[in-house]
């Protein structure tokens, strides 16, 4: 598309997507004085109307469970991935699989777990928030895997500080170089059994550490956070229903309200992106074409800069759909890397057992999900492993009888059984790193379209031998740590490698790199081929590390948005 100089853009910046990274892009750009349009493909979520954390399950039919025939018809993939989170009162947070189809290449499988609405999956995430360490930015170069990250830890460290301070991360200062400390609010306490597990494991394995999980919950809200209506976590552990206290971080609870306060934010819901318009003369994106999800009306919005934050798979699809004479294989895809190197974290290995010495102890109250975290030690403090990279363990310890109502019964005896002391169980599960592979990718179906006329995604992702060996070793390590902690009745089935996508940490589809011939983005998440196009969701990741990645998306988004604002301010864009 060619554009005349007389036409002024509608906005300074357009942000596609309102989730974890889109919210940060919008906030930073708006606070820099830019007029920002956020395009959200789903409906609006209003916490007071749509959060359901104040509705007890016992006041709902069938304890808030969805009928099995409805699950089979509408939510087979979503429910299979996060059954604990999809209830009758929360199903509006998750897409209906039959209304949002995709395909997988022959011999492969993929779980694409999604939420289309204000805030995207930032209102449904598990909220564990960790920095990548120096080793994570250097491993590709050192091992000759993928492409070298064009940044190092010191480049991004100030932006980790920035987003942690605003978001609110509960954690401890642990002093681990592979998992750098950050700007923390007080951590949640470990249970007495977790403390004992920590002491025994660290004594038996000096290179391994058991720490309190770092989670994005307010425990000592700052004046800035309170000014946005956020309050301290009430430890109700109803987070999958939303949080009316806005205690856990989400774009809906934090960044979008901050952007709105500036007066510079415009949001349009039910706006499904068809493509980006590209001007061959200026070699820049000029606008975003959308179709209204309800009316099917088409519109085009124009801007000086565009941020793609639609999520890893969706952003890649938008670039591929934006093919033109200048970019016949998709916008900004001169490298042929758009859609490639699709990664997730691997899971499906761990162990559980009864930890002795606490049969006379019980717990009072709750805490949000988190528990303990065992940071990566493989190829960090322990070398000579038969695999590259490594994994971390997430888990916790609690009284077995009170865990999810596992003790059968009814009435008074049932209630008293769950209050009574008894044996404690400790469980840990591994989250490991998947190596980048250009053959793992998402492409556009050549003929099949969704109900809005956009091509259907085709996933072609498999795990390699490194991932399989890693999980086998993780299982062995988990058993060894439980044995060292004196656990009994240790259980660990065969490794059951999760499907790609199932951990909901997809990343890498438009990787950053130093060479435009082998990467899509530079170190600022700016497209090599299109100066005013930025992609700051999980797409930019050059490798996966093993830590939960959302905090990294936030930091890179804030950094890129301020860089773009600088370019606009000095007239470059």
The beta strands (E) that lie in 103-184 are given as 103-104
pLDDT in tens, 484-536: 999 999 999 999 999 999 999 999 999 999 999 999 999 999 999 999 999 99
Pairwise CA distance, residues 449 & 426, whole Å:
47
Residue 355 domain flag: no
Q: Is residue 333 part of a domain?
A: yes
Instruction: DSSP letter for 121, please.
Output: G
- CA angle 383/385/390 to nearest 5° reads 85
- With a CB cutoff of 8 Å and minimum separation 6, the contacts of 416 are none
In a domain, 39, yes or no: yes
Q: Is residue 458 part of a domain?
A: no
The DSSP bridge partners found for residue 288 are 276, 301
Q: Which tokens is 381 given?
A: 């403090």
Indicate the number of domains in the chain: 1
Q: Can you tell me the distance from the alpha carbon of 327 to that of 533, in angstroms, rounded to the nearest whole number?
A: 14
Cα–Cα nearest to 382, from 161, 205, 207, 177: 207
Q: What is the DSSP code string of 500-569?
A: TTTTS--B-TT-B-S-TTT-SB-TTSBBSS-TTEEE-SGGG-SS--SS--HHHHHHHHHHHHHHHHHHHH
List the structure tokens of 143.
Answer: 């091992």
Q: Is residue 242 part of a domain?
A: no
| 546 in any annotated domain | yes
Q: What is the mean pLDDT of residues 202-209?
A: 98
Q: For 136-162, how does the pLDDT look when each residue is reduced to its tens digit (9 = 90+)?
A: 999 999 999 999 999 999 999 999 999
Count the alpha carbons within 13 Å of 536 in the hemisphere toward its beta carbon: 37
Asked if 485 and 200 touch (Cβ cutoff 8 Å), the reply is yes
Residue span of the structural domain in which 259 resides? 1-59+116-156+250-343+506-573
Edge-to-edge strand ranges of the sheet holding 424-432: 211-212, 372-374, 391-399, 424-432, 350-355, 488-491
Q: What is the DSSP letter of 228?
A: T
Instruction: Give the pair of three-digit tokens for residue 510.
Output: 């438009």
Q: Could you tell me where the beta strands, DSSP code E, fall in 309-390?
A: 350-355, 372-374
**What token pair was written down for 424?**
């404690």
Query: H or E element: which one contains 36?
Result: strand 36-39
What value does the mean pLDDT take over residues 383-410?
A: 83
Q: Is 406 a residue whose pLDDT tops 60? A: no
Residue 218 lies in a domain: no
Average pLDDT, the chain: 95
**d(C-alpha 290, C-alpha 274), whole Å:** 5
Q: Is 142 helix (H, G, I), strand (E, B) or coil?
A: helix
DSSP secondary-structure letter at 366?
-
Q: What is the dihedral of CA 440, 446, 447, 448, to 10 degrees?
A: 10
H or E element at residue 316 = helix 312-321
Neighbour count for residue 385 (Cβ, 10 Å): 15
**Res 369: pLDDT:** 83
> pLDDT tens digit string along 449-464?
999 999 999 999 999 9
> What size, in residues, is the chain?
573
CATH of the domain at 291: 3.50.50.60
Lowest mean pLDDT segment, chosen from 83-87, 254-258, 360-364, 392-396: 360-364
Mean pLDDT in residue range 40-52: 97
Confidence of residue 408 (pLDDT cuts 50, 70, 90): low
283 found inside a domain: yes
- Could you say which DSSP state residue 10 is in? S
């Amino acid at each position: 598309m060619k554009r005349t100089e007389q036409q002024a853009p509608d906005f300074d910046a357009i942000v596609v997507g309102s989730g974890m990274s889109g919210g940060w892009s919008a906030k930073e750009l708006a606070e820099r004085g830019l007029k920002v349009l956020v395009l959200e493909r789903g409906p609006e979520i209003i916490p007071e109307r749509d959060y359901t954390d104040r509705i007890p399950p016992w006041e709902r039919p069938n304890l808030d469970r969805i009928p099995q025939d409805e699950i089979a018809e509408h939510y087979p993939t979503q429910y299979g991935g996060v059954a604990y989170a999809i209830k009758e009162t929360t199903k509006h947070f998750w897409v209906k699989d039959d209304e949002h189809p995709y395909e997988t290449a022959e011999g492969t499988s993929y779980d694409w777990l999604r939420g289309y609405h204000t805030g995207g999956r930032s209102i449904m995430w598990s909220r564990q928030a960790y920095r990548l360490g120096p080793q994570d930015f250097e491993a590709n170069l050192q091992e000759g895997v993928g492409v070298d990250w064009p940044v190092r830890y010191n480049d991004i460290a100030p932006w980790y500080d920035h987003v942690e301070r605003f978001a609110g991360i509960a954690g401890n200062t642990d002093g681990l170089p592979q998992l750098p400390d950050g700007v923390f609010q007080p951590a949640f306490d470990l249970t007495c059994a977790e403390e004992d597990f920590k002491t025994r494991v660290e004594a038996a394995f000096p290179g391994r550490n058991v720490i309190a999980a770092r989670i994005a919950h307010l425990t000592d809200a700052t004046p800035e956070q309170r000014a946005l209506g956020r309050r301290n976590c009430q430890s109700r552990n109803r987070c999958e229903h939303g949080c009316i206290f806005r205690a856990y971080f989400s774009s809906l609870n934090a960044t979008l309200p901050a952007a709105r306060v500036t007066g510079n934010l415009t949001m349009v819901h039910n706006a499904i992106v068809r493509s980006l318009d590209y001007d061959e003369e200026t070699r820049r994106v000029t606008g975003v074409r959308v179709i209204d999800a309800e009316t099917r009306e088409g519109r085009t919005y124009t801007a000086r800069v565009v941020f793609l934050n639609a999520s890893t798979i969706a952003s890649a699809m938008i670039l591929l759909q934006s093919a033109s004479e200048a970019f016949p294989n998709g916008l900004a895809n001169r490298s042929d890397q758009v859609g490639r190197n699709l990664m997730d974290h691997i899971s499906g290995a761990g162990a559980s057992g009864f930890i002795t010495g606490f049969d006379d102890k019980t717990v009072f109250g709750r805490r949000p999900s988190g528990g303990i975290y065992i940071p990566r030690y493989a190829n960090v403090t322990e070398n000579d492993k038969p695999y590259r990279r490594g994994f971390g363990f997430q888990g916790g310890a609690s009284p077995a009888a009170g865990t999810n109502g596992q003790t059968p019964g009814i009435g008074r005896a049932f209630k008293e059984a769950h209050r009574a002391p008894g044996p404690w169980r400790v469980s840990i599960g591994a989250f490991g790193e998947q190596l980048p592979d250009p053959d793992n990718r998402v492409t556009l179906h050549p003929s099949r379209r969704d109900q809005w006329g956009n091509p259907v995604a085709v996933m072609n992702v498999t795990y390699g031998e490194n991932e399989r060996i890693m999980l086998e070793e993780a299982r062995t390590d988990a058993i060894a740590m439980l044995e060292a902690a004196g656990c009994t009745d240790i259980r660990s089935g065969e490794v059951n490698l999760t499907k790609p996508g199932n951990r909901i940490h997809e990343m890498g589809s438009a990787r950053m790199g130093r060479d435009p011939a082998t990467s899509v983005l530079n170190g600022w998440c700016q497209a090599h081929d299109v100066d005013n196009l930025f992609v700051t969701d999980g797409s930019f990741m050059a490798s996966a590390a093993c830590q939960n990645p959302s905090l990294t998306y936030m930091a890179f988004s804030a950094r890129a948005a301020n860089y773009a604002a600088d370019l606009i301010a000095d007239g470059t864009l």
